[in-house]
Amino acid sequence: MILVVGGAGYIGSHLVKELVEKEQVIVLDNLSTGHRYLVDDRAVFIQGDLGNRADLEPIFEKYPIKAVMHFAANSLVGESVVHPLKYYQNNVAATLTLLETMLKYNVKNFIFSSTAATYGIPNVELITEDCPTNPINPYGRSKLMIEHILADFASAYGLNYVVLRYFNAAGAHESAEIGEDHNPETHLIPIVLQHLLGQRDKISVFGTDYGTPDGTCIRDYIHVTDLAKAHILALEALLSDKKKTAIYNLGNGLGYSVKEVIETCEKVTGRKAVIEYTDRRPGDPARLVASSQKIYEELGWKAEYSLEDIIASAWKWHQRKG
Ligand code: UDP
């Protein structure tokens, strides 16, 4: 069985929907930001906290767990600057309890959701995994701390792990049964689509004076189903002993500016957005675009969905959700 921690969240729930086709899945989630309705019925659902031994140990006692996939984290950069304690507690301390419990029960395979925020402000067109990691906010630092802990645990305790550094996850499952459901929503694509559905008056574009061709920030948007598929390949690589430890970027390798994203949303939906241009949002690097060459070469993964596909799937979901 595979334990998916945070499997009721946006990315975790999309992974679970793919994984239940192949494995028996247990989802542990405290539902602080996730939703019970996002969890596929074929998975066992347990409401509990990964930082609480009393919640974790009965699961490891009861089920023969082969691997743990860990999606449960707080992930808002701005909030992490204001409430770093929450980020170090929930993202670092709780993860240590999970890892400690895994070791106690001799479970040695771990897949960890990391982030492009570990790179900070990189000075390259395409970010490769060997670029320096200099996160500029507590969120990025909390993820990088766990990456360092994993390397030490691999050396000392024989833990096997794959770290996946996501770029900008977006889109929804093709069934439109599950999708991105954050409250409050801070991400660009759902905000634009909510606006185009009449749920917001306008869109704010944060900064037009970046050193990019149209002055707005460039990001690498990756479909959540592409992310889910990468996790399955990473899991197979660990379970087959093809990989003991690895770090991979997950992106499209294509950068789109905020303006281009809004234009693509207008094109896909056939609706026109009302835009206001405002100051920069603190902590936003001008450009974050991944090279995903390493995971392509080692595990054969590459992104299949374009920005239009991503937005079309998200639009379907937002329309359905209303
Ligand atoms: N952004 C924006 N208006 C919004 C939300 C986001 O201009 O209402 C910009 C944000 O400054 C960044 C890009 O869109 O440059 C992507 O932001 P998002 O929060 O979706 O993801 P992040 O890159 O911060 O993980």
Secondary-structure breakdown of the chain: helix, strand, coil percentages, each rounded to the nearest 5: 40, 20, 40
Q: Model confidence at 78, in pLDDT bands (50, 70, 90)?
A: confident
Write down the pLDDT at residue 125: 94
Write down the pLDDT at residue 21: 97
Evaluate if residue 112 carries a pLDDT over 90. Answer: yes
Evaluate if residue 44 carries a pLDDT over 90. Answer: yes
pLDDT, one tens digit per residue, over 247-280 is: 999 999 999 999 999 999 999 999 999 999 999 9
Are 301 and 233 in contact by the 8 Å Cβ rule? The answer is yes
Type of residue found at 154: A
Catalytically active residues, by annotation: 139
Cβ < 6 Å from ligand 1: which residues? 77, 168, 186-188, 191, 203-206, 217, 219, 258, 281, 284
* Residue 266 alpha carbon to ligand 1 centre in Å: 17
Decide the pairing of beta strands 160-166 and 218-219: unpaired
Which domains are delineated in the chain?
A: 2-170+221-250 (3.40.50.720), 188-219+253-321 (3.90.25.10)
Atom of ligand 1 nearest to the CA of 216: 15
Q: Model confidence at 283, in pLDDT bands (50, 70, 90)?
A: confident
pTM exceeding 0.90: yes
Percent of the chain with pLDDT over 70: 100
| Burial degree of 22 (CB within 10 A; 0-12, 13-18, 19+) | exposed
* Residue 263 alpha carbon to ligand 1 centre in Å: 15
Nearest CA to ligand 1 atom 6: 188
CA distance 312 to 252: 17
Write down the pLDDT at residue 287: 94
